[in-house]
Structure 1
Amino acid sequence: MDTRTLLKSLVVVCAVLGALPTAWASSASKAVERDYVMAPAAPARQTVAEAAAKSEGCISCHTQSDTKTMHVNPAVRLGCTDCHGGNADVSLPDGAAAGSAQYAAIREQAHVLPRYPDDWHYPSSANPERTYTLLNRESREFIRFTNPSDNRVASLACGACHQAVIEASIRSLHATGAMLWGGAAYNNGILPFKNYMIGESYTDDGQPSILYGPKVPDELKDEMEAKGVLPYLYPLPTWETVHPGDVFRVFERGGRNISNLFPETGLPNSLGLLQRIEEPGRPDIRQSNRGPGTGARISVPLINITKTRLNDPLLWFSGTNDQPGDYRNSGCASCHVVYANDRDPRHSGPYAQYGHEGKSISVDPTIPNDRTGHPLQHVFTRAIPTSQCMICHMHQPNMFMNTYLGYTMWDYESDAPHMWPEEQQYPSDAEMRKTLDRNPEGAAPRGKWADLEFLKNVSELNPELTDTQFADYHGHGWNFRAIFKRDRKGNLLDAGGKQVADDDPEKFKKAVHMSSIHVDVGMHCVDCHFSQDNHGNGHIHGEVALAVEIGCKDCHGTAKTYPNLYTSGPAALEGGMDLTALRTPDGRRRFEWVGDKLYQRSMLDPKLEWEMSLVKDTVTPGNPSYNPIAARSKLMSRDTANQSWGTDVPAGELAHSDDNMECYTCHTSWTTS
């Protein structure tokens, strides 16, 4: 089958069958029929009086707010219904007590009510646990009411000022997940294309959709393709409609063949016909004679991608909101509205003091501070902690941001007596389901961390542990252990390379924790990855590396030149972005030269700044930052006969030229992948 025919077939499969799981899922809960009216889009400009009128009834209950408009800038003029919809003409009468029938009646008149109240635990305002695709089934009016920044409604609530960012964001890898779906599809034989073509996108009413990028002039198509820009993405075909790949035949259970039917897997031979036994995983030289989705035969790679899409939701859906490290909302609020997920200040900065159970510190009297599933405050922020990024970027558990923070998946053996029951556990089916719903690892139902309260406090075991230290985040319900510098015999090493005694009670404080130097100086993800890296540049990308705007040399320079503070990464626009124009939330310059030193200021801590390490200084003899080892590696000539090195080697003759080798080829935190 040629590419054109295959693409047409895929479009038909996606268009006809892509919506079926959504329809089937609707039968799991009872919908309430309501007459919805979408509120007008929020205006770009209005008077103070006009904005106040749209909040008049709301503030009779919500008497205090962290920031009335969600924006800390007082110049923003918005009323409650501009963003959320609802009815601001209804007010709570004096003397009506919270919890009374009168209070409930007024609330019902003022609020937009959900189509699936049971799934939302209405009237609770907390994010429910594991909503999966509920947002695709719910009414847009209620979605806007509960989260105006959701991708399905953000254009109405935020588009007057931020439409370009919204359009870019829904095409970014944070929303499409094209790198996961494309890589899994090619590696597992679902599609024969290395150029990715499937990703996540939905229509306003929650149906899977084809996502198109901006139109590219014909004369630029080759250049854009070289930069990894994709013209479109198709939705993921449903797992029961695609032929299984041979590589996963080992998952089949085998069965009995009767005549020319596919093997039975659970039915007795009621007809008494002669049967031929088929071994598990066979036939191994051809496809069996079943059709897609028949005889309990399904595409294992596709169902795994689908499960990952639900357990590791991207920006189109809320987090699972069920354990530390998984609390967040959807859309813009996925990042810009902070939740309490991690008590480690290195990961959460100033938010660490508020715990890791997704509880609120809001001054709004209607928001309970003792229940999980709430953001910290009713406010947008650019001071986004690494712990917020980790909610999505913790998978796979032995790479991505785990290595940046110096952790990897627990090996199920280190300090095992603290993590496993003394006696073998035999949980019931119901107990296993309860645990596996929030943690899909097979060992979880039998470990102590099956108990959510134990899981929350795993890091508090650290003072008692002898073999490892645990992180305080637990995305998926998993446990992550710290990686320390060791010699070839496994002995802990300190910063000077000296062995740390295994019986030293301070050994984990003395040994080098293998986190990134960026973490060690107090940096968070947002200190390197600016607006475009987080929102995208408006084009569709399939590869993470090609979607990045920033480059190491933009801040650190090269062996030959100091940084010019313009972005130069693969996704940087022509000429790059001027880093000197960036400001912290409190208005300070993020990058500033002071004499011959370059300083960067923290996005989270107004009191924190650090001097940038400049590569040219480290290779220049006589400079206080000179490092002969760094100079040898960076200034080594390609002339293998003489093995010369030094500042007199021309840039074009360098063995490790900046044009041919990325800095992180060598300079990276340890990684297992």
Structure 2
Amino acid sequence: MFYLFLAIFFSFSFVIAAENNCLKCHKGIENIRQPDSEMMKEIFHIAEKVGYPRNDCIVCHGGNPEATTKEEAHKGTIKPFIEGIKTEHGIIKGPQNFYPDPGSPWINKYTCGMCHKEQVMTQYTSLMFTEAGKIQGSLWGFGGIEGYQHKIGNYNVHTLNIHKVLGTETYKKYMQEIKKAEPQVYPISMKALPPAPTAEEVEKNPQLAVYTYLRQECLRCHTGVKGRQKRGDYRGMGCSSCHIPYSNEGFYEGSDPTIPKNERGHLLVHEIQGTREAKVKVHGITYSGIPVETCTTCHDRGKRIGVSYQGLMETAYKSPFLEDGSDQPKLHTKHYLHLHADIHLRKGMLCQDCPTSIDVHSDGILSGTTLAPVEVECQDCHGTPDKYPWELPLGYGDEVKGEVPAKGKPRGVADTLLEYLKQGTEYPKEDGYLLTARGNPFGNVVRKGNDVIVHTAGGKDLKLEPLKKLKEKGKLNDEAMVAMVHIKAHIDKMECYACHATWAPQCYGCHIKIDYSKGIKHPDWIAMGNDRTPDGLTADARGEYKKHLIDGNIVETRSYLRWENPPLAVNGEHRISPAIPGCQTTVTVIGKDGKPLLLNHIFKIPDVEGAGKEGQLAIDISPVQPHTIQKEARKCESCHTNPVAMGYGIEEGKLYADPSKPYIVELMTADGKVIPKIYKTQINSIPNLKYDWSRFVSEKGQQLQTVGHHYSGSRPLNNEERAKLDRRGICLSCHQTMPDKDLAVSLMVHVKEYAGIKIDREKHNSILRKLVLLGAWVQILGVVAGAFLLIGGIILYKRRKSKK
């Protein structure tokens, strides 16, 4: 009888283990991956190893697979996960509790980390977690509180031991050299952001309001929390931030009956997005890769590279109206214009197709700005007109530590990938995997003959002809030949996107008001990230926003927006680059009594060279890769005859009235006296600012605001560079008089009248080109003639001397 009871018990236990109890409630839920995928096979294998072959849900979510109620099922985990599972990679531990979001960075070492150890290990040094660049940038705008140092992050974190850092040995050595060149950008550790100040503390020191600004407004995007739950901003946390799809509207559109379909804030479907092999199916549509809109969930502020890549440019206007006559809806809390999207997107490339895994997940080295971890340069795929990508030396285009000569040892290609990269889609190597500027192989870019094949996560295989091949085949037009071949300094000294990024979002004048007067409180994103339960959920993910409210109400606005012809500056790689305001912080702080503690205040950066002296205004122009690349580059005139490009400002700043003086609009006498006694100032003064926001260097070379505050190499163009750039008035050396007609017509009439030649624009340009070449040859011949005269003079002198 006893043995019969045991047999029945074990049989019953097997039936329970053989069933997926989760599906009794979640019947119809989507497979997280296709059943025949390698990832799903590994999940099944782990489930079988722990004795629940049909209950694969517990491998990621934990919980009690034998429970019959929701409350019991969503509690705890099984013993093998707690004690550890023996695998070929050693003992690994699974979920230690029930995890609603297995991607949470606070617990994902027990979920995603079972298979993806490297990415989970380095996640805490990623900028998406620390947000160190944002923090240093905000502290800079409030008076350079930490100077050039990047030692503050969202949480306490340390860089990994060099032996644990990801990448090839060549890459690791290269990064050590870069760290020596710019140590302030690559700190060994970061300390957690100071706590939010109280209204009373701000009364004593208004500068402390920066920590309210950071905690309430700037730091909502980091992967340690779910972030702001508004249209366009819905996402998961940790790995789920990118690898679980959320629509802009935030509704669940799958088949799980337990997830409400009329409530915002849910994933789109219960599936993983990532590599080409990870197919996601929604409403009969199958896609792979991470959609661009997933990235713009966070990348819609700061440099705005996500929305810019899509061709979206912020606007203050709500038009055009929708089908029902309503306003354009807000996306990421903004309205947009639609400009030309980046050519890479129009070719079918997702955001993830350029950066490497290290660029996104981190290599284990702490970095303080977006330029610091990115190892990819345009030349890595496109090469130069003289060299294929594999003929360029390592470091070309990434000259953080100084100029890299193009004649250095060729970098070649790689025969194999790093092991952790093989967990994704492994493409045929053809003639070798291309290498990044820092020495790691691309997982998705290969050489095939003298072509480059880019395999996109979205399923496209794009053939790219490098610049050298285009030149050899005569496919470069005259403008391209002049810009890249005849004027080689453009290639050696400038970023490719200095010409090919034809527009960039320029938010001039960032006006921040932090008001402590009305008792209004808002959530503290870092405090919510620090308040986490054993299931990996932070306070915001649990909906407990009210637990972490802090004093202060923040309002942001700007002076004006532009997008065309961004100015030029020198970036941290010592190359000429487009630049945008980032940020031109003007601070207003309202105290508890409603009176301003600071009003339209621009801080100054302490002068490091002088004791107690003030240096530049703490408004900044920031070098940037705008991610708005077009095949047709900017016109030469957009830089060479444009004061904006030189840093002199829009129309040299002559249109903008002195902002340091208030402006009153009222009934006035002829000599400017206000007639009514009751009136208001229309535009108040900004005391420290005496010129247009777009003007950051004077014609004599005086720097008017900071230009980059991360890398030591960032600066405005110097006097010599601006002199070479400035070609205004050259046409007037010949064309001092022009007929008073349309320019195109007058050109033909003018030349026919004075030279007897019928000419069109193309012929005019041809003549100009010939004149330039003729001028060059005259200079060369002049040098040669001079040399002959010098040699002849020396010979004649020696002959006369010998006769004497």
**TM-score, normalization by structure 1:** 0.54
**Quick one: structure 1 residues 526 and 404, their matched pair in 2 at CA, closer, same or farther if it must change by over 3 Å?**
same
Question: What letter is aligned with 1:616?
Answer: K
> Paired residue for 1:318?
226
Q: Quick check: 2:390–2:413 contact (8 Å CA) kept in 1? A: no
Question: What letter is aligned with 1:299?
Answer: L
1:231 Cα deviation after fit:
0.7
Q: Quick check: 2:130–2:154 contact (8 Å CA) kept in 1? A: yes
**Quick one: structure 1 residues 50 and 636, their matched pair in 2 at CA, closer, same or farther if it must change by over 3 Å?**
farther
> Paired residue for 2:133?
179
Superposition RMSD in Å: 4.0
Write out aligned runs for 1:247-258 (5 A).
Answer: none
Q: For 1:142-166, what per-residue CA distance to the aligned partner results, in whole angstroms no more than 9, with x for missing partners?
A: 7x51111111001122222222211
Question: What letter is aligned with 1:90?
Answer: A
> Paired residue for 2:379?
553
The yes-or-no answer on 1:365 pairing with 2:365 is: no
**Quick one: structure 1 residues 544 and 367, their matched pair in 2 at CA, closer, same or farther if it must change by over 3 Å?**
same
The yes-or-no answer on 1:611 pairing with 2:463 is: yes
Q: Quick check: 1:547–1:571 contact (8 Å CA) kept in 2? A: no
> Paired residue for 1:232?
189
Question: Which one of 634, 643, 662 corresponds to residue 495 of structure 2?
Answer: 662
Question: What letter is aligned with 1:229?
Answer: Y
> Paired residue for 1:248?
none
> Paired residue for 1:82?
59
**Quick one: structure 1 residues 174 and 575, their matched pair in 2 at CA, closer, same or farther if it must change by over 3 Å?**
farther
* Structure 2 alignment gaps of length 5 or more: 1-12, 48-55, 77-94, 164-171, 275-288, 401-409, 429-443, 507-579, 581-804
> Paired residue for 1:58?
22
The yes-or-no answer on 1:409 pairing with 2:259 is: no
Q: Quick check: 1:599–1:611 contact (8 Å CA) kept in 2? A: yes
Query: 2:60, 2:33 → 1: CA distance?
Result: 9
Query: 1:146, 1:577 → 2: CA distance?
Result: 43
1:327 Cα deviation after fit:
1.2
**Quick one: structure 1 residues 303 and 190, their matched pair in 2 at CA, closer, same or farther if it must change by over 3 Å?**
farther
Query: 1:413, 1:145 → 2: CA distance?
Result: 41
* Structure 1 alignment gaps of length 5 or more: 1-48, 92-105, 114-139, 202-209, 243-290, 342-356, 419-457, 484-513, 638-653
Query: 2:74, 2:229 → 1: CA distance?
Result: 23
**Quick one: structure 1 residues 412 and 480, their matched pair in 2 at CA, closer, same or farther if it must change by over 3 Å?**
same
Q: Quick check: 1:636–1:656 contact (8 Å CA) kept in 2? A: no
> Paired residue for 2:213?
304
> Paired residue for 1:327?
234
**Quick one: structure 1 residues 373 and 75, their matched pair in 2 at CA, closer, same or farther if it must change by over 3 Å?**
same
Question: What letter is aligned with 1:395?
Answer: R
Q: Quick check: 1:84–1:146 contact (8 Å CA) kept in 2? A: yes
> Paired residue for 1:601?
455
> Paired residue for 2:388?
562
> Paired residue for 2:338?
482
**Quick one: structure 1 residues 363 and 583, their matched pair in 2 at CA, closer, same or farther if it must change by over 3 Å?**
farther
The yes-or-no answer on 1:153 pairing with 2:45 is: no
Query: 2:15, 2:149 → 1: CA distance?
Result: 48
1:226 Cα deviation after fit:
2.3
Q: For 1:121-162, what per-residue CA distance to the aligned partner results, in whole angstroms no more than 9, with x for missing partners?
A: xxxxxxxxxxxxxxxxxxx977x5111111100112222222
Q: Quick check: 2:136–2:146 contact (8 Å CA) kept in 1? A: no
Question: What letter is aligned with 2:201?
Answer: P
Q: For 1:156-187, what per-residue CA distance to the aligned partner results, in whole angstroms no more than 9, with x for missing partners?
A: 22222222211212211111111100111123
Please give the secondary structure, in 2, of the residue aligned with 1:109.
Answer: helix
Write out aligned runs for 1:84-233 (5 A).
Answer: 84-91=61-68, 106-112=69-75, 145-189=99-143, 191-201=145-155, 210-215=156-161, 223-226=178-181, 228-233=185-190
1:400 Cα deviation after fit:
2.3
Please give the secondary structure, in 1, of the residue aligned with 2:454.
Answer: strand
1:387 Cα deviation after fit:
0.3
Q: Quick check: 1:618–1:627 contact (8 Å CA) kept in 2? A: no
1:669 Cα deviation after fit:
4.3
Please give the secondary structure, in 2, of the residue aligned with 1:634.
Answer: helix
Q: For 1:567-598, what per-residue CA distance to the aligned partner results, in whole angstroms no more than 9, with x for missing partners?
A: 967599x9799598578977655445555443
Question: Which one of 285, 296, 299 corresponds to residue 390 of structure 1?
Answer: 296
**Quick one: structure 1 residues 669 and 307, their matched pair in 2 at CA, closer, same or farther if it must change by over 3 Å?**
farther
> Paired residue for 1:630?
480
Query: 1:526, 1:584 → 2: CA distance?
Result: 16
1:199 Cα deviation after fit:
0.9
Identity %: 25
Question: What letter is aligned with 2:143?
Answer: G
Please give the secondary structure, in 1, of the residue aligned with 2:217.
Answer: helix
Query: 1:340, 1:609 → 2: CA distance?
Result: 27
Q: Quick check: 2:454–2:462 contact (8 Å CA) kept in 1? A: yes
Q: For 1:649-671, what per-residue CA distance to the aligned partner results, in whole angstroms no more than 9, with x for missing partners?
A: xxxxx31244x432223222411
1:482 Cα deviation after fit:
1.7
Question: What letter is aligned with 2:22?
Answer: C
Query: 1:594, 1:226 → 2: CA distance?
Result: 36
**Quick one: structure 1 residues 593 and 575, their matched pair in 2 at CA, closer, same or farther if it must change by over 3 Å?**
closer
**Quick one: structure 1 residues 292 and 366, their matched pair in 2 at CA, closer, same or farther if it must change by over 3 Å?**
closer
1:366 Cα deviation after fit:
2.7
1:545 Cα deviation after fit:
1.0
Q: Which has the higher strand share?
A: 2
Please give the secondary structure, in 2, of the residue aligned with 1:299.
Answer: helix
1:232 Cα deviation after fit:
0.9
Please give the secondary structure, in 2, of the residue aligned with 1:376.
Answer: coil
**Quick one: structure 1 residues 633 and 235, their matched pair in 2 at CA, closer, same or farther if it must change by over 3 Å?**
same
Q: Quick check: 1:359–1:371 contact (8 Å CA) kept in 2? A: yes
Please give the secondary structure, in 1, of the residue aligned with 2:270.
Answer: coil
Query: 2:118, 2:423 → 1: CA distance?
Result: 22
Please give the secondary structure, in 1, of the residue aligned with 2:453.
Answer: strand
Query: 1:54, 1:223 → 2: CA distance?
Result: 55
1:107 Cα deviation after fit:
0.8
**Quick one: structure 1 residues 522 and 473, their matched pair in 2 at CA, closer, same or farther if it must change by over 3 Å?**
farther
**TM-score, normalization by structure 2:** 0.46
**Quick one: structure 1 residues 162 and 662, their matched pair in 2 at CA, closer, same or farther if it must change by over 3 Å?**
same
Question: Which one of 353, 357, 380 corresponds to residue 272 of structure 2?
Answer: 380
**Quick one: structure 1 residues 522 and 360, their matched pair in 2 at CA, closer, same or farther if it must change by over 3 Å?**
same
Question: What letter is aligned with 1:670?
Answer: W
